Amino acid sequence: MVGELVVGATARDLLARPRFGGAILAVVTGAVYLQGVIARSDFRDEAISKSRFGDCFASLAMTNGEILWLAQNDLPMHPRALRGDFDFGALRVGMPFQSDGAALRFVGAQLIAPLHNARVWQPTAIDPARVASRETVMARVRESDLTGFPKPVRSLDNARALIGLGEGLTPSGDDFVGGWLFAAYHLHATYPKNARWDQRAVDDLLEYARTRTNVISYALLRDHARGQSIAPLHEWIAALMCGAGAPEIEAHAQRVRALGSTTGENLLAGALAAITA
């Protein structure tokens, strides 16, 4: 049993596709990362086998596949996450999976995640009726700690030097740039006359990043460039943009900082750098 499932919008859209499948990309504490594509039309659900499925997805999934992940209930939500009370004990890197829209199954493991009753998670939104003045937002940001990188990113040209910098599933440089993109996106969406957003420059940066970081981190960079991220970062920027008091904003910032060993710190540092650029 996996208990009540919560699914992000991106993960839901991927898992709802006919014959969507792939393989486990990484198994870490509390999460299992998947990479998948739509299988060939001649692949049948009842014929699932490790060898046939491997032939079906291998040529595409590991180069052009989409990323999503299973997360334990104590991890924050993300648009690419499917969260529940999972037992990851039998899951291994390279193990094939398949979703038919009704359930997610793994070849060689008993874990089955039924999808029909999964609750769709929506990130905290910035309420247009409560948006604070740009001056108020800047005043709150100036009260925050901007340390984390010796050379703040002031433009997307500066950001290129940080892509792929660091170790792990999401290198520190990518986290910083991701936070920068996330905040810049929402700043422009909230104050379109005062905050610049150059989509062509963003697209060029993402193309540059494609071969300079790992596939998981690249997927997250793409999400950040669309204003999509982990739940605590959405909660923080909504509080900031809607004029919450300093104690509330700092409480949200602390929840962001608590993400991973350095991920949250770097996301927040990047977001603050974008707002003050």
109-158 pLDDT, tens digit per residue, is 988 999 999 999 999 999 999 999 999 998 888 876 655 545 556 667 78
Rounded to whole angstroms, the Cα distance separating 54 from 132 reads: 52
Q: Averaged over 31-55, what is the pLDDT?
A: 65
In a domain, 1, yes or no: no
The verdict on residue 235 lying in a domain is yes
Q: What is the mean pLDDT of the chain?
A: 88
Residue 33 contacts residue 216 (beta carbons within 8 Å): yes
Q: Assess whether 132 and 266 both reside in one domain.
A: yes
**Count of the separate structural domains present in the chain:** 2
Does the predicted model carry a pTM greater than 0.85? yes
- Where in the sequence is the domain holding 244, given as residue range(s)? 128-276
Q: Which two tokens stand for residue 207?
A: 């193309």
* 97 and 139 within one domain: no
Q: pLDDT tens-digit profile of 166-193? A: 988 899 999 999 999 999 999 999 999 9
Answer whether residue 87 is part of any domain: yes
* Residue matched to tokens 């890197």: 93
Regarding whether 196 and 78 lie in a shared domain, the answer is: no
Give the DSSP H/E element, type plus range, for residue 103: strand 103-106
Residues 50, 133 within the same domain:
no
Q: Which of 63, 92, 121 is the last residue of a domain?
A: 121
Assess whether 140 and 269 both reside in one domain: yes
Residue 209 lies in a domain: yes
Whether residue 104 is found in the same domain as residue 134: no
- Distance (Å, rounded) from C-alpha 140 to C-alpha 244? 9
Is the same domain home to 10 and 102? yes
* Domain termination site, one of 86, 121, 156: 121
Question: Side chain identity at 71, as an amino acid letter?
Answer: A
